[in-house]
Amino acid sequence: MSDQSNYRSLAAIMFADMVGYTKLMQEDESKAKLLRDRQRNVVDKTIATHNGKVMQYYGDGTLSMFSSAIKAVEAAREIQDQLQRDPKVPLRIGIHIGDVVHDSEGVFGDAVNVAARVQSLSVPGGVMISGKVFEEIRNHPGIKVEAFGEHDLKNVFNPISIFALANEGLSVPEQSYIQGITGSHKNSVAVLPFANFSPNPENEYFSDGITEEIINALVKLDGLQVPSRTSVFAYKNTNKDIREIGKELNVATVLEGSVRQSGNKIRVTAQLINTDDGFHIWSENYDGEMKDIFKVQDEISQKIAEKLEQNFEFNATRVFYEASTDSVVAYNHYLQGLYYWNKRTPEAVLKAIECYQKAIRKCKTYTKAYSGLANCYSFLGVIGHLKGKVAFTKAEKFAVKALELNDFRGGSFVSLGFVDLFYKWDFDSAEANFRKAITMEPNNEEARLALATYYRIIGDVDRMYHHTKAAIKIAPVSLPALLQHAHSLMITEKHKKALDLFDRILELDPLFRPALEGIALVHVFEKKYDKAIRAVKKYLDLIDLDYKDGTQLGYIAALKGNIKLAEENLKILQKREESNPDLNLCLDYAVIYAALGKTDIAFDYLNKAVDEKLGSVLLIKTIFPFDMLKSDVRYGQLLERMGLNP
């Protein structure tokens, strides 16, 4: 039988304690009590002023509860401001937000434990907050913070993002201080994108490729934390201070460098930098010919290991870089393909296919090139830029070939899983392949995102959220990871948080089209149609194609009751189809007709999408323009056709 006096709520928890109180009691008991009484007096009054409540006293500390994070933060700032005046009280404060259970005896729960651990990372005169608190206050004017990355805290299951309030008058710890307490990511290196110093600007693909290959080599070292390619490439062409990058990625060291290629000659410059003070640990130049490039990459990886081996348990004399081809020409084509693939636009992916095919013509056993082709064809099949049967048949062929050549690469299982998911609609096999990829490469955020997509399709949005969040933990500034997490927020109707995350993505890359599309969708959901139209037009301005208008503007026009404009956009879709027979625009038509209230036509197009195995139709459960169709018996029948539970 439950105790009716217990009740649960979401609350901001503040822990505050005085540093050195026990020692001071031994040295000067009267002074210690004076400072403790001053602390309690200030804390009691300030917390009450900000609508909080002191729940428990702990001798030299207090545990307080607030109904909002912003109130807790404002109270903490005011408390520290007052206690920095004479006689100063060396108080440290920590704040977290979460579910708590409280009764007449006090307050309990995981949120209390986390708040206590966050407080333990503070310094006298400082206020530390968790990532959850930061998300609540990040857009509040007048509040400054410094990021300290994710850290493993004692008795806390998942790593916690840590921030410090950094307003004038508050003390902010050094990154090394936090790392010294938690031990988190001391063994870490971020490989920043190598600069292209070649005479030909188009050789940028080569410097990008060198960067990615070194990352892949270092990832293999047990115990070494290496941020993924998608995280570090957010800093391409940035002027940010190395120390600031170190804080954001929560790494102890950074490798940066440059590549100069002229004919067959190549020079690679690399330098390892301590992110705590910005000092160089090591730097070196490598001169050689293109035929030596595989050896150069191994030497760079090995040199990093040698400089850091006092912190790691591995054999620094082993070969880190293992080329999957002996052909430098094939390798060059592969790097070009990788460069275009990472752009994730239909036009760039078509170029990537050409490059990967050239690589395979030069090396029939090039595993990475086969995986690359599988990814490209799956991508085109999902978005409807290639007929499903053509796209996924090729994707399966190349994924299977990659696994025949090397069944130890998680990426190949991801590729095969996408074929199972979006073409065969074999959901069990897809999940098994994605989980196998994660087992083989736990820090592969693409595998996490793939599994999140699987959960989105079957309608388990809680697990989708869990895995997009895990992907962000692995790759904190990965655009694909941030995008999918923003979609999980949007799907669960956390619109403000979704918009904030879409805005953050655009801060990292103002040309990232899917973020603008996401912003438009949120505004449409909130019926802020003018804002949605502005976002769509920004999105369309970034597309250099004929007949690029259509779906989004047609859908919004239909919702606004502008039938004429909606029909004009339907004609644009028809022209797009006529200009490119490979396109599958069934979902585009269905969205507009559903908004026009022409449900018979909408279902005709949806069934056609199923007939033609258009991959993205599987997302129907979370494509909210189709919510208006869910009460129709044909909606359940459609799900059953796809093997999804109605």
Determine whether 319 is exposed, middle or buried from the number of CB atoms within 10 Å of its CB (0-12, 13-18, 19+).
exposed
Q: Please state which CATH class domain 324-442 belongs to.
A: mainly alpha
**Which pLDDT score is estimated for 318?**
47
- Strand-pair category, 91-103 with 126-130: parallel
Domain 189-322, CATH among 3.20.20.70, 3.40.50.720, 3.40.50.10610, 3.40.50.170: 3.40.50.10610
Q: Which residue blocks in 5-139 are alpha helix, DSSP H?
A: 21-27, 29-49, 69-83, 110-120, 131-137
* Position 491 pLDDT exceeds 80: yes
Q: How confident is the model at residue 62 (pLDDT cuts 50, 70, 90)?
A: confident
Longest dimension (CA), the chain: 88
**Which pLDDT score is estimated for 3?**
46
Q: How confident is the model at residue 530 (pLDDT cuts 50, 70, 90)?
A: very high
Q: Which residues pair with 164 in a beta bridge?
A: 128, 146
3-state SS, residue 434: helix
516 touches 552 (CB < 8 A): no
Cβ neighbour number for residue 358 with a 10 Å cutoff: 17
Of 294, 246, 235, 242, residue with least CA distance to 268: 294
> What does 439-473 look like in DSSP terms, one character per residue?
HH-TT-HHHHHHHHHHHHHHT-HHHHHHHHHHHHH
Q: Which residues pair with 98 in a beta bridge?
A: 11
> What does 607-628 look like in DSSP terms, one character per residue?
HHHHHTT-GGGGGGGG-GGGGG
**Torsion, CA 236, CA 240, CA 243, CA 246, rounded to 10:** -30
**Which pLDDT score is estimated for 312?**
46
**Which pLDDT score is estimated for 635?**
94
Tokens of 609: 């999408």
Our measurement of the distance from residue 12's CA atom to the centroid of its chain's CA atoms, rounded to an integer in Å, reads: 25
- At 330-350, the pLDDT tens digits run 888 888 888 888 777 888 899
The C-alpha atoms of residue 134 and residue 132 are separated, in whole angstroms, by 5
* Position 11 pLDDT exceeds 60: yes
Report, as an integer, the average pLDDT of 308-314: 49
For the chain, the helix, strand and coil percentages under 3-state DSSP, each to the nearest 5? 60, 15, 30
Determine whether 222 is exposed, middle or buried from the number of CB atoms within 10 Å of its CB (0-12, 13-18, 19+).
exposed
Peptide bond into 159 cis (omega under 30): no
The C-alpha atoms of residue 458 and residue 421 are separated, in whole angstroms, by 11
**Domain residue spans of the chain:** 7-182, 189-322, 324-442, 545-646
The C-alpha atoms of residue 498 and residue 69 are separated, in whole angstroms, by 19
**Which pLDDT score is estimated for 125?**
92
Q: How many residues does the chain have?
A: 646
> What does 41-73 look like in DSSP terms, one character per residue?
HHHHHHHHHTT-EEEEE-SSEEEEEESSHHHHH
- At 607-627, the pLDDT tens digits run 999 998 888 899 999 988 888
Amino acid identity, position 423: Y
Report, as an integer, the average pLDDT of 169-189: 73
Report, as an integer, the average pLDDT of 371-390: 86
7-182: CATH architecture: 2-Layer Sandwich (3.30)
Angle between the 551-559 and 529-541 helix axes, to the nearest 10 degrees? 170
Total-model pTM: 0.59
